[in-house]
Homo-oligomer: A and B are copies of this chain.
């Protein structure tokens, strides 16, 4: 934690904006005009513009007790870039608005923006605008990400075809288990503030929650291998929920194989400490920011060697519904339960 504390009121709104944006150097030719006017100007030079937004509220989407502000700034950008990648597009700009109360110092806001700029630099996007305002109480974050895509190569959720292979990137469920650890330690801390948190060995699952990455590499791989996914969505609410979105919007059913769901060893061990099923975490945990997509069977050879991609099932006729085949051979309907359901079962 920083030792100095500069009050935001000592800078004023315009002073704070200057302070936060003075070192921006625009990296993209498409960023024609950045921060400092009524609006930003973008030129995608014949490409189509992709745009998405997220609203993140303290107490609903994040808990500052265990979320460092720098990580929060980083993650706020990442979750939006993930939506741009899920369209098969490349993010080029972000716009960041924050509502802050006077309990935050200029140093605290600087930490938050350190994370924002770290994410922008890593993913090659420019911060080109935003709004900074006071809030009465909690921290409010609104991020809009803008990207570009070659005309009509963007990928929707609604265009999967029967027989297409269902694929996911990376591994699933770890962020949820990371949350369980942090919630447990928060509870202990609240009851006995002297106790040091015991998170030894859990850096993988906690890192997946606090500092997620967006799958730029997968979208670049598609371009390199000339793979055009038939449908795509990012995994923010859990694999089940996202699979059901693709099924519903593509008017199809699917078969998902439990044994094919990618799960990290670290996550499996961590889940067992809470006596919960790793598969349930993958299905209903969420906040993975991996990509779920479908490809034509003829593209299978192009991605089979990519260790970051797992084929987990295939699309079927709609009247067959969406099912999971368990490791034991059982067949169950996929339902979207989300975190709340899991929490209820495990609290």
A positions within 8 Å CB-CB of B: 32-33, 36-44, 46, 48-55, 57, 59-61, 83-84, 86-87, 89, 93, 95, 97-99, 128-131, 133-138, 140, 142, 144-147, 149, 151, 154, 156-158, 232-234, 249
A149 surroundings in chain B (CB, below 8 A): 41
- With contacts A133-B55, A134-B60 known, is A49 near B42, CB below 8 A? yes
Are the C-beta atoms of B157 and A38 separated by less than 8 Å?
yes
Are the C-beta atoms of B57 and A49 separated by less than 8 Å?
no
A134 surroundings in chain B (CB, below 8 A): 60
Are the C-beta atoms of B95 and A53 separated by less than 8 Å?
yes
Are the C-beta atoms of B42 and A87 separated by less than 8 Å?
no
A89 surroundings in chain B (CB, below 8 A): 39
Instruction: Look across to chain B and name the residue whose beta carbon is closest to the beta carbon of A82.
Output: B38
Are the C-beta atoms of A87 and B39 separated by less than 8 Å?
yes
CB distance from A206 to the nearest CB of B (A): 24
CB distance from A38 to the nearest CB of B (A): 4
User: Considering the complex of A and B, which 9 residue pairs feature the smallest CB-CB distances, nearest first?
Assistant: A39-B52, A142-B142, A38-B86, A55-B97, A38-B83, A42-B49, A43-B48, A55-B131, A39-B50
Are the C-beta atoms of B140 and A140 separated by less than 8 Å?
yes
Are the C-beta atoms of A55 and B234 separated by less than 8 Å?
no
CB distance from A155 to the nearest CB of B (A): 9
- With contacts A41-B154, A99-B55 known, is A48 near B32, CB below 8 A? yes
A-B contact pairs, 6 of them (CB 8 A): A36-B157, A37-B87, A38-B52, A41-B48, A43-B48, A57-B99
> CA separation between A51 and B51, bound complex, in Å?
10
Instruction: Look across to chain B and name the residue whose beta carbon is closest to the beta carbon of A55.
Output: B97
User: Which listed residue, B53, B57, B146, B156, touches A136 by the CB 8 Å rule?
Assistant: B57
CB distance from A202 to the nearest CB of B (A): 28
Are the C-beta atoms of A57 and B133 separated by less than 8 Å?
yes
Are the C-beta atoms of A142 and B41 separated by less than 8 Å?
no
CB distance from A212 to the nearest CB of B (A): 15
User: Which listed residue, B33, B39, B138, touches A147 by the CB 8 Å rule?
Assistant: B39
Are the C-beta atoms of A142 and B53 separated by less than 8 Å?
yes
Instruction: Look across to chain B and name the residue whose beta carbon is closest to the beta carbon of A136.
Output: B59
CB distance from A133 to the nearest CB of B (A): 5
A52 surroundings in chain B (CB, below 8 A): 38-40, 129
A249 surroundings in chain B (CB, below 8 A): 36
> CA separation between A86 and B38, bound complex, in Å?
6
